[in-house]
Amino acid sequence: MPLIELVILLACLVLLSNVLSHYLVAIPVSLIQVGLGLGVALLLNVQVKLQTDWFMLVFIAPMLYNDGREFPKQELWELRGAIFANAIVLVFITTILGGFLIHVLIPSIPLAVAIALAAILSPTDPIAVQSISEGVKLPKEILHLVSGESLINDASGLIGFKYALAAAVTGSFVLGNAIGDFIYISLVGLAVGLALITLIQLIRDLLRREGINDIVFNVVLQILTPFAIYFIAEEWFHASGVVAVVAAGVLSHVQNSHESEDAPELRLVTERVWNVIVYLLNGIVFLILGIELPVATRATIKGAHTNTLHAVFDVLIVWGILLLIRVAWTYAYMLFNWLRHRKQAKPSLRIAALSGLSGVRGAITMAGVFTIPTVIATGEAFPERSLVLFIAAGVIIVSLIAASAILPLIASKSLPFVTRGSSPDEDDVALVDGEDDDTDVPEDATTEVPQQLTYKQARVYILQLAIQNVEEHRRPENQRAAYDLILDQQFQMRRLEVASQTADELAPMLTDELQLRLVALAGERQAVKQMILDRQTTKLAGKVYLQRIDRREQRFIRATHKSGLPTLRSLRLIMSRAMQGFRLWLAPGDSGELRSEILNIQREASKAAIKSLSQYLKQANVDEQQFDRQALYHLIVHYRNRIENAKNDHSLSRADYEQQIHRLRIKSLGAERTGVQQLLESGRINLRTAAKLRQFINYSENLLMLNDIEADDD
Indicate whether 522 and 489 sit together in one domain.
no
Indicate whether 609 and 712 sit together in one domain.
no
* Of the candidate ranges 46-60, 341-355, 564-578, 589-603, the one whose mean pLDDT is the lowest: 564-578
- Among residues 648, 667, 694, the one where a domain terminates is 648
Query: Of residues 107 and 125, which shows the higher confidence score?
Result: 107
When pLDDT is cut at 50, 70 and 90, the band that residue 430 belongs to is very low
Handedness of CA 17, 22, 23, 27 (dihedral sign): positive
> What contacts 555, CB < 8 A, 6 or more positions away?
569, 573
Q: What domain range is 315 assigned to?
A: 3-410
Is 197 a member of any domain?
Answer: yes
Give the tens place of pLDDT for each residue, 458-479: 888 888 888 888 888 888 788 8
CA distance 361 to 153: 12
Give the tens place of pLDDT for each residue, 218-231: 888 889 999 999 99
Q: What is the pLDDT of residue 9?
A: 92
CA distance 63 to 364: 12
Indicate whether 525 and 478 sit together in one domain.
no
Is 426 a member of any domain?
Answer: no
Contact 662, 484 (CB under 8 A): no
Indicate whether 519 and 488 sit together in one domain.
no
> What contacts 361, CB < 8 A, 6 or more positions away?
121, 123, 124, 125, 128, 395, 396, 399
> What contacts 55, CB < 8 A, 6 or more positions away?
288, 363, 367
Indicate whether 494 and 520 sit together in one domain.
no
* Of the candidate ranges 109-113, 133-137, 361-365, 477-481, the one whose mean pLDDT is the lowest: 133-137
Q: What is the pLDDT of residue 425?
A: 36
Label residue 489 exposed, middle or buried (CB < 10 Å: 0-12, 13-18, 19+).
buried
Give the tens place of pLDDT for each residue, 1-37: 677 888 899 999 999 998 898 788 777 787 888 899 9
Indicate whether 462 and 526 sit together in one domain.
no
Contact 391, 293 (CB under 8 A): no
Is the pLDDT assigned to residue 155 strictly greater than 60? Answer: yes
Indicate whether 401 and 508 sit together in one domain.
no
Count of structural domains, the chain = 3
Give the tens place of pLDDT for each residue, 262-317: 566 777 778 788 888 888 888 888 888 888 888 778 777 776 666 778 888 999 99
Select from 69, 268, 266 the least CA-distant residue to 701. Answer: 268
Select from 60, 144, 224 the least CA-distant residue to 654. Answer: 144
Tell me what the pLDDT averaged over the chain comes to.
76
C-alpha distances in angstroms, 328 versus 159, 252, 331, 338? Answer: 24, 35, 5, 15
Indicate whether 595 and 655 sit together in one domain.
no
Handedness of CA 179, 186, 57, 30 (dihedral sign): positive
Is 437 a member of any domain?
Answer: no
Please state the length of the chain: 714
- Among residues 390, 410, 430, the one where a domain terminates is 410
Contact 496, 566 (CB under 8 A): no
Query: Of residues 571 and 146, which shows the higher confidence score?
Result: 146
Handedness of CA 51, 394, 328, 590 (dihedral sign): positive
Select from 248, 394, 238, 221 the least CA-distant residue to 320. Answer: 394
C-alpha distances in angstroms, 413 versus 137, 409, 410? Answer: 11, 8, 7
Contact 381, 374 (CB under 8 A): yes
Q: What is the pLDDT of residue 147?
A: 61
For residue 381, what is the DSSP state?
A: B
Is 512 a member of any domain?
Answer: yes
Is 434 a member of any domain?
Answer: no
Indicate whether 655 and 640 sit together in one domain.
no
Residue 252: count other Cβ atoms within 10 Å of its Cβ.
Answer: 20
Q: What is the pLDDT of residue 28?
A: 75
Q: What is the pLDDT of residue 319?
A: 92
Is 73 a member of any domain?
Answer: yes
Give the tens place of pLDDT for each residue, 528-556: 888 888 888 888 888 888 888 888 888 77
Handedness of CA 174, 179, 184, 189 (dihedral sign): positive
Contact 385, 456 (CB under 8 A): no
Q: State the CATH number of the domain containing residue 65.
A: 1.20.1530.20
Handedness of CA 157, 160, 165, 168 (dihedral sign): negative
Is 430 a member of any domain?
Answer: no
Indicate whether 621 and 676 sit together in one domain.
no
Indicate whether 281 and 346 sit together in one domain.
yes
Is the pLDDT assigned to residue 136 strictly greater than 60? Answer: no
Helices 591-617 and 539-561: crossing angle in degrees, nearest 10, is 50
Select from 208, 115, 162 the least CA-distant residue to 566. Answer: 208
Is 54 a member of any domain?
Answer: yes
Indicate whether 662 and 703 sit together in one domain.
yes
Mean pLDDT of 661-689: 87
Single-letter residue type at 349: L
Select from 158, 132, 107 the least CA-distant residue to 32. Answer: 132
Query: Of residues 617 and 127, which shows the higher confidence score?
Result: 617
Q: How many helices (H) and strands (E) does the chain have?
A: 29, 0
> What contacts 587, CB < 8 A, 6 or more positions away?
594
